[in-house]
Amino acid sequence: MAAEVSIRRYEPGRDDEMWVGTYNRARAGAPEFVPETVEELGRERERPWFSAAGRFLAEMDSVVVARVDASYRDEDRELGVGFIDGPYVVPEAQRRGIGKALLERALASLRERGARRAENGAGDWNMAALAFLRKHGFEPSHTYSRMERDLAPVSGIGENREVELAPVRVNDEDIAVLYRLMDSAYAEYHNFTMGTLEHFNWFVRHQGDGGTCIERYFALESGRPVGYVVMAIEHEENGRLGVKRGGVYTVGVLKEHRGRGIGTRLLLHTLERLRALGMESAVLSVDDQNVTGARRVYERVGFRVVRRFTSFELALTPKRDSPGSGK
């Protein structure tokens, strides 16, 4: 029998410890899990696009036992898709209908705000979450691979040595160029939207908050930017996991310049920089259905899949008014 559950909105500030603690207890045991902190949540709330409109907590006997976040930003409205993170239910409250109740509230919230589709996802290690999404009508849409490789030197694999690499400066001019490059390079990607330049500018200027080391580079041909790469070292995460690892956050090349080794050159430069900074391995994530063939490039560079994540979608039918409502 389903438990009696009370669902309420998350209140920023008041509910921060419960929001973070519930997630950490529900996710404990996931591969390479790094707990959230209240400080990280505080930095998240400072983002200009932050909204708590789709964040909900579930209580059982006045104790918070689950959370869900149904995000539907202004930039998502063009696609009509809202993104659900969770529900996350603490172990002792699972299998009591709480996840279902929270999911229904999240879907209702997206409908109320005009979303036409909902996206959620789960990793291949979480069979329960994959089954949960299928049970509630979600259909697989895309798979993503997390890939990793050590930082042994590699070269002579088709990299373009004629392009010039230049650091991206953290100023309005370079940030605007990077924004346009990413918007063009990612135009064909699944459910992709850049958002506003103002939001992107803020994000770039604050991407290193919390101690993350960020480096960004342009690939230049005749002085014109035709590609880019963003790399990062999450020092705090590395310390918690006991690893020396960097990440390729994003890499892209303008469509008309692909197939000429520019992306490979950017990747090899990133691996060289990570090695120079004392790292021992690198990770990245890729859409397996990426129309640019990026995964083949990563495999040629030496990356191998370590786990996969499946994205699911659900069509949201408009909420119907009750008979006799006059609407």
For the chain, domain boundaries: 6-115, 147-311
Average pLDDT of the chain to the nearest whole number = 92
Average pLDDT over residues 159-178: 97
| Phi, psi at 70, each rounded to 5° | -110, 100
Secondary structure (DSSP) of 257-326: GTTSSHHHHHHHHHHHHHHHTT--EEEEEEETT-TT-HHHHHHHHT-EEEEEEEEEEEE-PPPPPPTTS-
Same topology between domain 6-115 and domain 147-311? yes
**pLDDT at site 291:** 76
**pLDDT at site 327:** 32
Superfamily of domain 6-115: Gcn5-related N-acetyltransferase (GNAT) (3.40.630.30)
Q: Which residue has the higher pLDDT, 155 or 324?
A: 155
Secondary structure (DSSP) of 223-264: TEEEEEEEEEE-HHHHHHHT--EEEEEEEEE-GGGTTSSHHH
Residue 323 — very low, low, confident or very high, per pLDDT cuts 50/70/90? very low
Q: Which residues pair with 317 in a beta bridge?
A: none
**pLDDT at site 74:** 86
CATH architecture of residue range(s) 147-311:
3-Layer(aba) Sandwich (3.40)
**pLDDT at site 319:** 58
Q: What percentage of the chain exceeds 90 in pLDDT?
A: 82
**pLDDT at site 134:** 97
